[in-house]
Amino acid sequence: MNERAVHTDRFTDEVLPHLDAAYNLARWLARDAADADDIVQEAYLRAFRYFDGFQGANARAWLLAIVRNTSYQWLRKNRAQQPVEEFDETLHNGHEAADPETLMLQNADNQLVEQAIRALPAPFREVLVLRELEGFTYKEIVDVVGVPIGTVMSRLSRARDRFRHLVSEELSRTRTRAAAVGDAHVGSI
């Protein structure tokens, strides 16, 4: 086997399995599915180009550091030119609901979580996504984000607090709106 084929096979074995994690991080950072596709494509091209420099420690963390950097570079360059397209979890999750009520409740939960994550500042959003959605260890997050572990822990704590606060606020608003609709309905009878 020639050197190029060995390089390609090694890349395929070590880096390609992390495509879903790369896409998830890019989608959460860009807040847009189409932009995430472009970012992941660019990140994989960069990863392939510089794969000879990879020392083999943790391919997932190495790749996601490239995805993170590519995301921020891409957003600085393109965000003003691109319209925002909402990501609809129900179209992309691949699960069929047992009945319409279950689907409605799952959709409401997904929307609430997505809305809260999207509202977080990027440094909080990235550590929360890496830890809670991708299952990264603190050390792996340090490798991806490039900040000290104390900063990762602090950002993650603040991200969780702000996430809880955002979800709680939205649930309170939803209950208030539901009560107002109920009161208006009772008053019209």
Q: Is residue 91 part of a domain?
A: no
Question: Does 14 score more than 90 pLDDT?
Answer: no
Domain CATH for 8: 1.10.1740.10
**Structural domain total, the chain:** 2
* Residue ranges making up the domain that contains 73: 1-82
pLDDT band per the 50, 70, 90 thresholds, residue 161: very high
Domain boundary among 21, 55, 82: 82
Domain CATH for 187: 1.10.10.10
Confidence at residue 142, expressed as pLDDT on a 0 to 100 scale: 93
Summarize the confidence of residues 173-182 as an average pLDDT: 72
Summarize the confidence of residues 176-181 as an average pLDDT: 71
Confidence at residue 188, expressed as pLDDT on a 0 to 100 scale: 58
Confidence at residue 97, expressed as pLDDT on a 0 to 100 scale: 44
Question: Does 189 score more than 80 pLDDT?
Answer: no
CA dihedral 18, 21, 25, 26 (to 10 degrees): 60
